[in-house]
A and B are shown apart, each in its own frame.
Chain A
Amino acid sequence: DAGITQSPRHKVTETGTPVTLRCHQTENHRYMYWYRQDPGHGLRLIHYSYGVKDTDKGEVSDGYSVSRSKTEDFLLTLESATSSQTSVYFCAISEGTSFDEQFFGPGTRLTVL
C-alpha cells in the first residue's frame, strides 16, 4: 500500500469554526489532491498541488483553501465550516502524468453541525 495517511480520521465540528485536514505521504510523489465524496456525486476535486507551494483549484474549491510547504504534507482548510461541507474527504497522490494512477488515503469523515 502507498504510504498515505490522513488526520484526523473523524471529526465533528460546529458551523463557523475553522477546520484543517492533513494528508501525509511517504512516497515522494509530486502531485497531491483533495477530493470530497458525497452520495450520488462520486468524487469531486477540491484542490490539487503539483509541487511545493504550487496549487490549483478543482471543480468545487469554494470555501476551501490548501497549502503545501513540504513535499510530504498537503493541508486542506475550511476557513468557516458550513453544513454543506459535511462529507468524506480523500487525499490522493500520483507521479503526475496523464496515465499514472492515483493512490488514495483512507479518508476523513467530517460532520459539521
Chain B
Amino acid sequence: AQSVTQLGSHVSVSEGALVLLRCNYSSSVPPYLFWYVQYPNQGLQLLLKYTSAATLVKGINGFEAEFKKSETSFHLTKPSAHMSDAAEYFCAVSVWGGSQGNLIFGKGTKLSVKP
C-alpha cells in the first residue's frame, strides 16, 4: 500500500535561509507525488506535482522538489525563506482503486520563519 512519511512535524528557519522539508514515499508502482501548502485558517493549495515528466519539479512561490527513485524521496526546497512562507506543508502520493480514494497525505510539517 502507498504511504507518505514527512520527517519533522516542525521546522524553523531564519529569513533568507534554505528551506528543506522532507518527504519519503512508499509505493509499489511509479507514484504521482504532490506538495500542498496550507496557510492559517485556509484550505490547501497545490505547490507542485511530479507526474514523471521531469525529476526536478518547479512550483509556485520559488519552491521546487526533486524526485529520487533510489531514495524514495520527494523533498521540497526553497533557496531563501521569506516570512510569507510560514505555513503547514503536506506531501501526498496518488493511489488508485481500493477504498482510499485518490490521495494519501503525510501528517504535515509546520514551517516557521524567524526574522
Contacts and interface: CB of A to CB of B under 8 A. Distances in A.
A52 interface: no
A33 B95 CA distance: 14
Contact of A96 (B46, B102, B106): B102
Q: Is the interface of B mostly helix, strand, loop or mixed?
A: loop
B100 A33 contact: no
Contacts, number: 61
Interface in B1-52: 9, 32, 34, 36, 41-46, 49, 51
A42 B106 contact: yes
B70 to A, nearest CB: 22
Interface residues of A, number: 28
Contacts of A90: 43-44
A63 interface: no
Interface stretch (A13-21, A54-62, A67-75, A76-84): A54-62
A42 B101 contact: no
Interface of B: 9, 32, 34, 36, 41-46, 49, 51, 90, 94-96, 99-103, 105-108
Interface of A: 4, 31, 33, 40-45, 48, 56-59, 90, 92, 94, 96, 98-107
